[in-house]
Amino acid sequence: IENDSITFEICQKMVDEWVCCTEEEIHSAWLHLVEEERMIVEGSAALALAGYIKVRHKLKDQSVCIVLCGRNITLEKLKYLLE
């Protein structure tokens, strides 16, 4: 936790459930965004989608918003992920 960071404390109060995802689940979500949505995002955004995919059965008939932020990805990383 960074000095003077307020986000951890806010998350402790506001987050109802934490979802852990594997690297494979994150990569699969990233590929979905690239292939189906035509979006290039960094891993943290793909993690948000991977987490949703993992628990979407719990969210049936609910409105869901997934924040897909960040395009901070190098060309080398992009080439690696597309292989």
Q: Is the pLDDT of residue 2 over 80?
A: no
In this prediction, residues 60-71 reach a mean pLDDT of: 88
Q: How large a percentage of the chain has pLDDT more than 70? A: 99
What is the distance between the alpha carbons of residues 34 and 82, in angstroms, rounded to a whole number? Answer: 9
Q: What is the mean pLDDT of residues 59-78?
A: 88
Alpha carbon 58 to chain centroid, angstroms: 18
**Quick one: average pLDDT of 56-65?**
94
- 52-74 burial, b at 16+ Cβ within 10 Å, e below that, comes to bbeeeeeeeeeeeeeeeeeeeee
